[in-house]
Structures are given as C-alpha cells and as structure tokens.
Amino acid sequence: MKFIILILSFVLFSVSSYSQNNTKSNVEFTSDSLEVDENKNLMIAKGNVIIKSEKETIKADSVKYDKSLDKATAFGNISIISNDGTIIETSEITLTNEFKDILALTLFTKFKDNSKLKASKLSKTSDKSVFFNGEYTPCNCDFKNGEKPVWQLNSSEVTHDKLEKMIYFKNVVLKIMDYPLFYIPYLSTPDPSVRRKNGFLMPSIGYSNRNGLETTIPYYFTTEDESWDTTFTNHFKGKNGYINQLNVRKKYLSGFLETNLFQGQVDTNNEDEDQVFAGNLYFDGKLESNWNINASGKYSDQDTFMRRYNFDDATNYKNFIKTNKITNNSFSEIEWYKYTNLKVNSKINQPNLQPSIKHKKFFNNKNIYSEISLNAHEIKDDQGYDIQRWSTSGRLERKVDNKFIDLIISGETGLDLYAIKNRPSSDTNNNKYLDRLSLGISVLSKKDFIFNIGKHDLLMTPKLQMVSMHSTNRKNDIPNRDSLDFRIDHANLFLINQYQGRDNIQTNQRLNFGVDNDVNTDIGSFSLFFGQSQKFGGSNQNIIDSNSNRQSDFITEIQWINSKEFNLSYNALFDHHNLETNYTGLELSGEYSNFYYNLTHRSVNRNLISDNSQREEIQFSVGKKINNWKLSYTSKYDLNDNDAELIEEEILLDYVGEYMFQDCLSVKLSYKNKDGAPDRDILPENSIFLTVNLKNLGDYGFNSLF
C-alpha cells in the first residue's frame, strides 16, 4: 500500500510542474506549425508539439490556447515524460487558471519499474488533486489494452490535499485474478513530503477456526519532537475478545528506549473474558567513560495469554539492568536481574540477583599471559537459597620455549567468601558464613606431528596435562548453584577447574589427555578428537552424573566436511567401563543437484539429567529445488522409552524466485502438525498456512486451523 501511495503522489506532483514552470516562461515550445488569431485571442500549435520544462516533457498532436478564457487544451496522442522515466498517456488535457488547474481524462501511467496506473479522470487545483476510478498493478501484462493482471488495486477516489500534505483513499479494493479479495472503505496517509504524521497504518485481517475473524488496526502518533513516536494498535481476536497494545519509542543521541503495554479482555485458561495486562521495556545506551547499559523488563498478570495470542513465546521473563565496559585489557560488568517463571507446571526457582559485580584484568606479554578477576553477588530465592558471595581469583600462564615439545605451565588461585542467609528445608546444613581458598597448578605438553599418507598430510597433536587442584573442603557446605549440570567435553577438558563457576571447587589430581587429528583428502577434510580425564586423587562430587568414576567418559568428536554434498558432525560421551553412550549429537547435511537434506539427532542419558529422565530426539528435513520452487518436508520425533512420538512436522511449498505469475505475485503454502505442546494453554494444532506475496505491497497470510 505504501508503494502505491508514493506512485500516486508522484503523479500529482509531476503533472503540476508544467503549469508552474510555464507561468515562469522557463519552458521550450516547438511544433511543426503555429497559427495565431489575435482577434479571437487563440493560438493553435499542430504537429509534433513538444513542451519541455525542467522536470518533464509533454508531447501532443496539437495544442489550442484561448487567452481570453485562460484555457489551454491538448489533443491527440498526449504523453508526459518525467525525467525519472515515468510516462503518462492521455487523449486530452485541459489547463486553466494560468496553467495551475488541470483536467485530464482517461489516464494511463507507466512507471520506471514497469508498474502501471489507470484513472478515468484527474482534476487538479492549486490546493487539491483528485484521481477518479484509479487502477494500479505492477504485473507484466498489457494493462493499457485490457489484459487482466494477476492482481490489482482499485480506488474510487484518491485525493491529495497539498495544504494538509495528506493523501486520502476511498473504497480501496484488492483484486486477485479479477476477484475482489480485500476491501478498505477509507484510508489516509501523509504525502511523500511529510516524514511522519498522525494517522492509521495498514490494517490486517485474518481468520482461524479458533478465534474466528481477526483484525489488527494500528494508529500512529507523532510529536513535534522527532525523537519520539507512538503506535496504538487494537488486536481484535474474534470470539475470544480483544487486546490493545501501546508501543512507545524514544531515540537518544547514545541509545534508544522502547516499551509496550498490553491491556484487554480475552478468553484465557483461567476464565472467559478475563481482564489481562502485560508490559515490557527495553533500553540500550551508552554512559560516560565508554560504559554500555542495557535494561529489560517484562510483566504479565496472566501466565499464558501472551503466548496464546502470539505476542511473546517466552516461558520465563528475565528483568534486568546490566552495565559493562570493555577495553583492550579489561572487562567490567554490573548486573541486577529477576527471573519470573511462567511455566504452568513448575513455578519454583525464580531467583533475584541484586547485584552481580565482575571485573577482570588481562595481561599478555610475549610468552606470559595472566588475568585477575574480582566478583561479588547476592542472589535470593534460588531454589530456596539466599546467598552472598565475594570472590577474587587470578591465573598465570607461561609458554616455555623448547625445540622438542610445546610446554605450557599454568597456575590459578582464588579466595571465596560466602554468607548463606537462607536454605531450603531439604538442606539441613546450618553453616552460614564460609570461606574457601583454592590453588591449582597445570603442566600441559603438546607436540605437532605430520605424517604423510599417500598424497595427503595428517596433522596429529597429542596433548597431555597434569593438574593438581587444592581447595578448602566446602563441597558439603556450599550449595552448588552454578555448575550442577556439569558435563565433561572438549571445551573444559584442559581447564584447571573443569567445573563452571566458583561454587564447585574440590581438591583433586587429574591426568588429562587428548589427541587432535586433521587431514585434507580428495573427499573432504577430516577432524577427529579423542580424550579423557583420569582422576587419581581427591574427590569428584556435586555433579548430576551419578556414576562419577575415577575415569571420565571418553570424549569423541568427528567432523567431515565434503564441500556442499556431504557434511558430518558427531560428538559423543562414552562410558569408560561399558562404552555405552551417555550423550550423542549427530548432524548430517548436504546439497546435491538442487536436492538438500539435514538430519539431527540428540540423545542424553538419564545420568546427566537432573530429573533422571532419558531424552532422545531426532529431526529430519529433506527438500528439492525445481526451477524457482522449493518443496520440503520436516519432521521431529521424540524417541524416549523406545518409542517414536511425532512432535512436529511440516510440508512446505515455496516459490523462491523473485515473483511469478506476470512477475508480480508469489506464494508459499505450508502444512504444520504440532503435537505434544509444552503448555496446557497452547494447544496442539494442525494448520494450513498460505502466504501471498504481492509485488510492492508485501505479504498477506491466510491461516486455517483444524
């Protein structure tokens, strides 16, 4: 709609420019012959009449000008050619009021992008221009001679008010295949000379079996201060009620603010015609001394209506204020947050962090790297715990030059102070004030070996690390809040403290080893990693894995990249004793001759899940590109308990070229089947969704639920 508005506005401005320029006599006038009747005050120009102004050229077979009536009439094959390539054709134009008023009949306009506009009449005065019975289409067809386009927009009257700088439309109809599909009785918009102005924006209309007829009608507000703007939108949800949305935006020199308020009366899982309210806020900006600040706030007085009516699909809200500063050798951060859990079946664990303060300093000098970290935080209601913690830690790493082997010696130390003000009833420990001192040392050796295998070189890098960590014994006193879901993998295998965070630090001695292998072959590049951690002293507790043996799981990662046709990524954790998999991740993808596929599989043993449940899922996608069409199928299955339960599937037919059907329309058709919805208020559903993309107008969707 916006594009057609701009087009019509351009026509209004361009047609007027001739009369304005003519009064200033800055036009060029040529013709094959010229007759002047001074007695009747008539001038008649015939044959190849050309009137050229600064912005356009008017061509006609003849022009008759009556000075006494201040009236000029052009006849024959008339065309107005603008400098930007727009061409207006008509059979007759009348100019009056010193060429300021224009009356044109049976207009046909062709724009630079090959879109077209027809109108039965144009009436223009100094203050107002009106098009009657306008028809617009961007389709590649013989619109001028009556060929029907795939789609077109019709309007009974289009008025441009120059004083108000507004364009008004009456009785707008969208036709597809000459069938009226969409009707708006009245529409107004600012003309292109106005950057912004109050008024209705483009509404949308839809239908679903669940809600019935749905409409969305936005109204745009502006102020004299251009850094502000506001949109008020009424979302009518058919038989289920309505929701009003107020969106406010503010732009600052060094940031921006946006907030939304939702209020309405809709059917919810609590009751029908439930009064609901929600709001959100986001701010991003810069402070002095290169500090960045981010803030986000969300609230809903009903747990599921925002998800049910597709305003926000989050199941928990994190309200936070965060500031940070990054320099070449330091990082600082201060954060406050509050979690609100909206999951219907589990509303525990809604922690409140107030605040968390972090500062880290880096030093890097040739073969020596070091860092110092300072941390302090207070967290409340973290599954029943209220905890304050102050931590300071440091790390030093030195590379020792050696001709035979790469040697890296590392050490880290830290001091943690805890004040545990509250514990859940299940934790009978009464210790409130605790301290812990930790010290860890690591010696890592590695060496690159290159082996020639036929025409290819294999790069093999074995790594061996000795680690000794000593810590005050607090594993039974300090709640393990930041590393409970610890899982050994390639990323943390060679860390001195393998556990995430500072809560779980234990005295132990470990031998870590692994081998990286990389080779490029005729069938692609291969990367392989195999490693393990062996504990030969100390403890290994406070983790989910109930089988925490002396030896960790075997860590395996494989990657095979074979151009576009075949790519494989696999990682797994194998139990040390029986080689059963505790975790697997597989992704297989590729594309060949316009055929593409993707297979993803994830499996986690119950030993690594906090609720002791087995989880396994597989997703498969396959598709084919045929000319400009894409046909694809996607399915996702839950494989728990040796069963295959379909979670979601989709069949998609999409036109991926620019446009089809006279180069002005494309379509996308999809079928979705969703089962096993995680929320009792977000019901499983089958749906067919049709999206029609109209050139220069955007997307229109039609959704059917059953």
pLDDT top residue among 468 and 239: 468
Question: Which amino acid makes up residue 16?
Answer: S
Q: Which string of DSSP letters, residue by residue, matches 170-217?
A: EEEEEEETTEEEEEEEEEEEE-TT-S--SEE---EEEEETTTEEEEEE
Residue 539 has pLDDT above 80, yes or no: yes
User: Going by C-beta distance under 8 Å and a sequence separation of 6 or more, which residues neighbour residue 421?
Assistant: 386, 387, 388, 432
Residue 269, CB-side half-sphere exposure with 13 Å CA sphere? 15
pLDDT top residue among 441 and 153: 441
Can you tell me the mean pLDDT for 363-367?
A: 87
pLDDT of residue 62: 86
Give the closest residue to 119 by CA, choosing from 90, 145, 141: 90
Tell me phi and psi for residue 680, to 5 degrees. Answer: -65, -20
pLDDT of residue 698: 47
pLDDT of residue 547: 61
* CATH code, domain with 162: 2.60.450.10
Average pLDDT over the chain reads 82
In a domain, 84, yes or no: yes
In a domain, 172, yes or no: yes
pLDDT top residue among 19 and 235: 235
Residue 434, CB-side half-sphere exposure with 13 Å CA sphere? 23
Q: Are 213 and 205 in contact (CB under 8 A)?
A: yes
pLDDT of residue 497: 92
586: β partners:
570, 601
Residue 699 has pLDDT above 60, yes or no: no
75: β partners:
62, 92
In a domain, 109, yes or no: yes
Please state which of the ranges 192-196, 566-570, 584-588, 596-600 shows the lowest mean pLDDT: 192-196
pLDDT top residue among 593 and 182: 593
User: Going by C-beta distance under 8 Å and a sequence separation of 6 or more, which residues neighbour residue 90?
Assistant: 78, 80, 104, 105, 106, 107, 108
pLDDT of residue 532: 95
In a domain, 506, yes or no: no
Residue 454 has pLDDT above 80, yes or no: no
Distance, in Å, from the CA atom of 80 to the CA atom of 92, rounded to the nearest integer, reads 12
Q: Which string of DSSP letters, residue by residue, matches 99-166?
A: TTEEEEEEEEEE-TTS-EEEEEEEEE-SSEEEEEEEEEE-SSS-GGGTPPPSEEEEEEEEEEETTTTE
Q: Are 78 and 103 in contact (CB under 8 A)?
A: no
pLDDT of residue 181: 75
Residue 202 has pLDDT above 70, yes or no: no
Helix (H, G, I), strand (E, B) or coil at 307: helix
pLDDT of residue 671: 74
Distance, in Å, from the CA atom of 340 to the CA atom of 278, rounded to the nearest integer, reads 13
Summarize pLDDT for 84-113 with one digit per residue, the tens. Answer: 677 888 888 887 776 567 788 888 888 777
Distance, in Å, from the CA atom of 582 to the CA atom of 573, rounded to the nearest integer, reads 5
pLDDT of residue 627: 78
In a domain, 55, yes or no: yes
Summarize pLDDT for 563-573 with one digit per residue, the tens. Answer: 788 899 999 99
pLDDT of residue 21: 39
* Residue 410's pLDDT band (cuts 50, 70, 90): very high
List the domain range (segments joined by +) for residue 48.
Answer: 2-194
Q: Are 646 and 663 in contact (CB under 8 A)?
A: no
Q: Are 441 and 428 in contact (CB under 8 A)?
A: no
* Residue 212's pLDDT band (cuts 50, 70, 90): confident
* Residue 685's pLDDT band (cuts 50, 70, 90): low
Question: Which amino acid makes up residue 133?
Answer: N
pLDDT of residue 97: 72
pLDDT of residue 321: 96
Summarize pLDDT for 597-656 with one digit per residue, the tens. Answer: 999 999 988 777 666 677 889 999 999 888 778 889 998 888 877 777 777 888 888 776
In a domain, 542, yes or no: no
pLDDT of residue 16: 40
pLDDT of residue 313: 80
* Residue 674's pLDDT band (cuts 50, 70, 90): low
Residue 192 has pLDDT above 60, yes or no: no
- Name the most confidently modeled range: 13-22, 416-425, 475-484: 416-425
Distance, in Å, from the CA atom of 325 to the CA atom of 372, rounded to the nearest integer, reads 16
Scored b (16 or more CB within 10 A) or e, 143-168 reads: beeeeebbbbbbbeebbbebeeebbb
Question: Which amino acid makes up residue 557?
Answer: E
* Residue 24's pLDDT band (cuts 50, 70, 90): very low
HEC readout, 501-547: CCCCCCCEEEEEEEEEEEEEECCEEEEEEEEEEEEEEECCCCCCCCC
pLDDT of residue 48: 85
Residue 329 has pLDDT above 80, yes or no: yes
Q: Are 229 and 249 in contact (CB under 8 A)?
A: yes
In a domain, 66, yes or no: yes
Alpha carbon 664 to its chain centroid, in Å, reads 26
Can you tell me the mean pLDDT for 383-395?
A: 94
* Residue 19's pLDDT band (cuts 50, 70, 90): very low
pLDDT of residue 702: 42
pLDDT of residue 345: 57
Distance, in Å, from the CA atom of 244 to the CA atom of 295, rounded to the nearest integer, reads 24
Question: Which amino acid makes up residue 266?
Answer: V
pTM for this entry: 0.69
Residue 5 has pLDDT above 60, yes or no: no
Residue 26 has pLDDT above 80, yes or no: no
Q: Tell whether the torsion through CA atoms of 14, 16, 20 and 25 is positive or negative.
A: positive
Q: Considering its fold, how many domains does the chain have in total?
A: 1
Residue 541 has pLDDT above 90, yes or no: no
% residues pLDDT > 70 (the chain): 86
pLDDT top residue among 507 and 354: 507
Please state which of the ranges 85-94, 272-281, 655-664 shows the lowest mean pLDDT: 655-664
In a domain, 374, yes or no: no
pLDDT top residue among 120 and 417: 417
Please state which of the ranges 308-322, 417-431, 683-697 shows the lowest mean pLDDT: 683-697
